[in-house]
Amino acid sequence: MIVGSVTSFHAAWAWIVIIGNALAGIWTLLAIRYPALRTRALWWFTIFVQGAIYVQVLTGIYLVASEHKKMIAFHPFYGFVAIIASGFLFAYRDSMRHRLYWLYGIGGLFVSGLGIRAYLVAQSFH
């Protein structure tokens, strides 16, 4: 019973990661042109959707380790690359302070693209 719940959560949460990071990336890039968009809410939203990546990967690890779900081709690879990308964004935030909006804008879109690719790989096996 819990397996279906975790599997359903993993599938639904993927959309939080994909759409959320895309929106955060777009919002951040728009904030370059429109300074009024540079709000605290932008950064809280970015923190939430970047954190959503870790929730997504952890539920995937749970499904493989505890429920012996079969790994699908490169699906886990994209999740781990998304975590690495999120780590790079965080690590470079101080040294890229002068281009912070570019860093997180492009980074959010990149992570969203990784999520889309992971989703497409998973769908091709169903």
Per-residue pLDDT tens over the stretch 5-49: 888 999 999 999 999 999 999 999 999 999 999 999 999 999 999
Per-residue confidence (pLDDT) for residue 1, from 0 to 100: 44
DSSP for 32-93? HH-GGG--HHHHHHHHHHHHHHHHHHHHHHHHHHTT-PPP-TTHHHHHHHHHHHHHHHHHTT
Task: Reply yes or no on whether the pLDDT at 2 is more than 90.
Answer: no
Radius of gyration of the chain (CA): 15
Per-residue confidence (pLDDT) for residue 72, from 0 to 100: 81
SS3 74: coil
CA distance 6 to 12: 10
